[in-house]
């Protein structure tokens, strides 16, 4: 029998009417003969409400009690959904993390799943019941409630699918799949039928909002096929599967971007083995997120080191770097931007060596200067002036013929 894990996010269960709609869809899947395990998030807005209560109580809510608090959000959702399913004449059973049980470490608010015992759920499925599991939460070895951090419900769903050896993990969201790029930026964007886990990892980490990166990494590790679908319209979405199961032959799967970054350049750094570390360490240790980092080739024993940081943290990063640059005897520090990062992603980059050339030629033809560039195994990222972002995304989307699916492959 087919075993399907379905995950519905906060928007999909954001009201009683939507919870009833989810129940209808779950029951339909069940009536079609599948065994169904549903993972749900808190109703949209509920987690924020709970966080506000915590913030009114103490200045910096954190730790065990915060997780004990916010975990109630998913508990409300599973109970209401189980009721709505039973109201449609099917048997349902809601599960909290400790009832499953989903064992995590004890890093509150960002716990990691260690193991899942599927026995309780399998027992219920054997009775033809529908299992409804609270996403986002776990339980540590002491029996304390933990939460998994942002995107935690996606991770719960994938981990459950792995533990239950589910045939598919369906992620229901408010978009109908994964696109070749952001349709708001590039109207020619096309929904992908299929994408590999690795490609999705790059797209997710670079700003595509449909699915959390940890969940994709989990799915890749355990070989769980994901299916990203809309909870509001019917029809297939995008399958995320092992690379060998991805038949699209185009070298590039999508174009993604990130905004609101600034570039920090440290010029004339004495080119020693530890220079980059000395520049970067204070920034990292301060908890600031460093993205694309480029160390230029040294000229006369001096080199430039550039990297991007989120706009909100740029000034703090600059001050930290200035200290380090002074100590090293560097020439100077410059902050410029805002800049944007545009990336082309695709497993075909491994074999299609001409992809970087096409990226640079395309941007040059549009007169868009590339400020920095970094290449990975299946992605190429360029840093450009944020004002040229739309133009760059559209040009690259067209250059790789993404609007027409696999057709672009032969031309390259």
Measured from the CB of residue 9, what is the shortest distance to a second copy in angstroms? Answer: 18
Smallest gap from Cβ 24 to a second copy, in A, equals 13
Stretch that binds a second copy, among 30-38, 79-87, 155-163, 394-402 (CB under 8 A): 79-87
- Spatial separation of the C-alpha atoms in residues 412 and 273, rounded to whole Å: 40
Q: Does 94 bind a second copy (CB under 8 A)?
A: yes
DSSP assignment of 5-74: EEEE-TTTTSSHHHHHHHHHHHHHHHHTT-EEEEEE-PPTTHHHHHHHHHHHH-SS--HHHHHHHHTHHH
Non-local CB neighbours of 260 within 8 Å, separated by 6+ positions: 310, 311, 312, 338, 386
If the CB atoms of residues 117 and 326 are measured against a second copy, the closer one turns out to be 117
Residue 117 binds to a second copy (criterion: CB under 8 A)? no
Residues whose CB falls within 8 Å of the CB of residue 334, separated by 6 or more in sequence, listed in order? 264, 265, 267
> Which C-beta is closer to a second copy: that of 93 or that of 388?
93
Residue from 5, 27, 84, 359 binding a second copy (CB under 8 A): 84
Question: Using CA atoms, how far apart are residues 389 and 381, in angstroms rounded to an integer?
Answer: 13
Q: Dihedral through CA 45, CA 51, CA 53, CA 54, nearest 10? A: 170
- β-pairing, 238-241 vs 254-270, is unpaired
Rule CB under 8 A: which of 52-71 touch a second copy? Answer: 53-54, 56-59, 61, 64-66, 68-69, 71
87 binds a second copy (CB under 8 A): yes
Q: Minimum Å distance from CB 75 to a second copy?
A: 5
- The CA distance from 155 to 52, in Å, is 25
Where are the extended beta strands (E) located within 73-159? 92-95, 102-104, 113-116, 130-134, 137-139, 145-147
> Which segments of 253-301 are extended strands (E)?
254-270, 293-295
Q: How many residues touch a second copy (CB under 8 A)? A: 37
Using the rule CB under 8 A, give the single segment among 27-35, 49-57, 187-195, 349-357 that binds a second copy: 49-57
- Which of residues 140 and 313 has its CB atom nearest to a second copy in the complex? 140
Q: Smallest gap, in angstroms, from Cβ of residue 14 to a second copy?
A: 12
Collapsed DSSP state (helix, strand, coil) of residue 378:
coil
- Does 50 participate in binding a second copy (rule CB under 8 A)? yes
Rounded to the nearest 5 percent, the helix, strand and coil shares of the chain are: 40, 25, 35
Q: Would you state the torsion angle of the CA atoms of residues 391, 397, 403, 407, taken in this order, to the nearest 10 degrees?
A: 150
Minimum CB separation of residue 41 from a second copy in Å reads 15
**CB of residue 82 vs a second copy: minimum separation in angstroms?**
4
Question: Judged by CB, which is closer to a second copy: 92, or 189?
Answer: 92
| Nearer residue to a second copy within complex by CB, 22 or 378 | 22
Identity of the residue, 17 or 411, whose beta carbon is nearer to a second copy in the bound complex: 17
Residue 97 lies near a second copy (rule: CB under 8 A): no
With respect to a second copy, which residue has the nearer C-beta, 145 or 203?
A: 145
| Residue 84 beta carbon to a second copy: minimum distance, rounded to whole angstroms | 5
20 part of the interface to a second copy, by CB under 8 A:
yes
For residue 159, count other CB atoms closer than 10 A to its CB: 29
Instruction: Select from 90, 98, 259, 311 the one that contacts a second copy (CB under 8 A).
Output: 98
Give the contact letters, 122-161, x = binds to a second copy (CB under 8 A), - = no: ---------------------xxx----------------
**35-40 and 293-295 beta bridge pairing:** unpaired
The H-or-E segment that residue 220 falls in is: helix 213-222
Least distance to a second copy, CB of residue 399, Å:
51
- Interface with a second copy (CB under 8 A), residue from 22, 37, 96, 217: 96
Q: Check: CB of residue 314 under 8 Å from CB of residue 264.
A: yes
Cα(79)–Cα(106) distance, integer angstroms: 26
CB of 71: closest distance to a second copy in angstroms?
A: 7
Which residues are at the interface with a second copy (CB under 8 A)? 16, 19-20, 50, 53-54, 56-59, 61, 64-66, 68-69, 71-72, 75-76, 78-80, 82-84, 86-87, 92-94, 96, 98-99, 143-145
């Amino acid at each position: 029998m087919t075993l399907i894990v379905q995950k519905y996010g906060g928007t999909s269960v954001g009201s009683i009417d939507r919870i009833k709609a989810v129940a209808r869809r779950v029951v339909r899947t069940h009536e079609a003969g599948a065994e169904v395990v549903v993972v749900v998030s808190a109703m949209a807005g509920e987690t924020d409400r709970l966080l506000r209560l915590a913030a009114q109580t103490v200045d910096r809510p954190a730790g065990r009690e915060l997780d004990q608090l916010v975990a109630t959000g998913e508990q409300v959702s599973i109970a209401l959904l189980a009721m709505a399913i039973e109201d449609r004449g099917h048997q349902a059973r809601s599960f909290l993390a400790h009832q499953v049980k989903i064992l995590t470490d004890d890093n509150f608010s960002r716990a990691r799943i260690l193991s899942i015992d599927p026995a309780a759920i399998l027992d219920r499925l054997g009775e033809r019941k529908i299992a409804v599991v609270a996403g986002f939460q776990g339980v540590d070895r002491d029996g304390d409630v933990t939460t998994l951090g942002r995107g935690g419900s996606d991770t719960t769903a994938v981990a459950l699918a792995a533990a239950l050896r589910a045939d598919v993990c369906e992620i229901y969201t408010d978009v109908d799949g994964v696109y070749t790029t952001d349709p708001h930026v590039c109207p020619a964007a096309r929904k992908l039928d299929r994408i590999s886990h690795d490609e999705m990892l790059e797209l997710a980490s670079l700003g595509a909002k449909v699915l959390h990166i940890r969940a994709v990494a989990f799915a890749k590790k355990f070989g769980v096929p994901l299916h990203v679908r809309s909870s509001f319209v019917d029809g297939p979405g995008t399958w995320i599967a092992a690379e060998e199961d991805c038949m699209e032959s185009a070298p590039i799967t999508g174009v993604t971007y990130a905004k609101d970054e600034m570039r920090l350049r440290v010029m004339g750094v004495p080119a020693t083995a530890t220079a980059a570390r000395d520049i970067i360490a204070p920034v990292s240790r301060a908890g600031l997120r460093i993205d694309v980092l480029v160390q230029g080739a040294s000229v006369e024993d001096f080199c430039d080191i550039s990297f991007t940081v989120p706009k909100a943290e740029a000034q703090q990063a600059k001050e930290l770097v200035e200290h380090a640059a002074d100590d090293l005897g560097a020439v100077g520090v410059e902050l410029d931007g805002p800049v944007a990062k545009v990336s082309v992603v695709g497993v075909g980059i491994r074999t299609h060596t001409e992809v970087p050339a096409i990226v640079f030629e395309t941007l040059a033809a549009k007169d868009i200067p590339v400020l920095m560039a970094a290449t990975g195994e299946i992605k190429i990222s360029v840093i450009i002036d944020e004002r040229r972002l739309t133009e760059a995304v559209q040009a690259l989307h067209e250059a790789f013929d993404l609007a027409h699916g696999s057709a672009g492959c032969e031309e390259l």
